[in-house]
Structure 1
Amino acid sequence: MTIIICLDKNNGYQFGGKRQSTDRELRKKVLELADEIRCDEYTASQFEEDEKSMLYVGDDYLNTINGTCFIEKGDISNISYDKLVVFWWNRSYPTTKKFIIPQGFKSVSKENFKGYSHDKITMEIFTK
């Protein structure tokens, strides 16, 4: 399974139960990662209607073995995954939830790109 998550400079991903930010260029990159992106209703709400055909939306979106899941609220502490895609905002935001890259994962690639509302977003891929 592949997990996708967006983090700020301090590994934060939520503030008060909400995402820290969103960016349309980042969403395009997310949709390029797999034929289907699994997510919950909250995450799906940031995508345009024509992009939603590439989403599997449901409460069971983490119940997969080989899928690609975009996490903004879900608890992945008990989920087994072998690939992690982190989109770094390269900014600091207020945060109430943080995500630490698990031990055993190593960075295998990095790509910087210009976002719509962010001058620089970094996509970093980690594998076990």
Structure 2
Amino acid sequence: MVLIVCLDLNNGMYFNNRRQSRDREVIKDIAFITKNNNLIMTEYSHKLFENECENIVITDDFEGQYLENDFCFVENEDVQLENIKKIIVYRWDKVYPSDYCLNLEGYHLTSTLEFKGYSHEKIVKEVYLRNEE
């Protein structure tokens, strides 16, 4: 499965019981890259995508029987990385107090792309792959 998250500069996500951002350009990019696969998320996250994607699977069970190429968007949960082969990070150029942090140990950065968001001047899209053992 491919994990998609939005992180601040300290790998923090979801701060003070609020999402990091609802940047429109990030939502459009996620809709584009996931258009041919399932996009798995919670009901909480679905509100961001309901007018952008038709391939959404709403669940609280991220450990379910999903395909290797399915995407999972997480913003308000501790993430278990056992079944995650690839992580796509949308990184803000800010630091917020965070309720959860994502540990990227065991993954290596393979690409970055900087773009202007709607609500953020600079967003960096980073792609990480699991290290070979």
- TM-score bracket for this pair, using the shorter chain length: 0.7 to 0.9
| Structure 1: gaps spanning 5 or more residues | none
Identity %: 33
The letter for the 2-side match of 1:68 is F
> Displacement of 1:27 after TM fit?
0.4
Match of 2:114 among 81, 89, 112: 112
The letter for the 2-side match of 1:98 is C
For 2:97 and 2:44, the matched residues in 1 are separated by 19
> Displacement of 1:61 after TM fit?
4.5
Instruction: Give the aligned partner of residue 31 of structure 1.
Output: 31
SS of equivalent residue, structure 1 residue 15: coil
> Displacement of 1:58 after TM fit?
2.0
With structure 1 as the length reference, what TM-score do the two structures score?
0.88
The letter for the 2-side match of 1:7 is L
| Structure 2: gaps spanning 5 or more residues | none
| Structure 2 counterparts to residues 1-128 of structure 1, below 5 A | 1-34=1-34, 35=36, 36-47=38-49, 49-63=50-64, 64-66=66-68, 67-77=70-80, 79-103=82-106, 105-128=107-130
1:15-60 Cα deviation digits (max 9, x unpaired): 133212220000011112222311111111122x431423221223
The letter for the 2-side match of 1:72 is E
For 1:54 and 1:65, the matched residues in 2 are separated by 13
The letter for the 2-side match of 1:77 is Q
In structure 2, relative to structure 1, the CA distance for the partners of 1:31 and 1:86 (3 Å cut) is: same
**Paired residues, number:** 126
With structure 2 as the length reference, what TM-score do the two structures score?
0.85
Moved over 6 A (4+): none
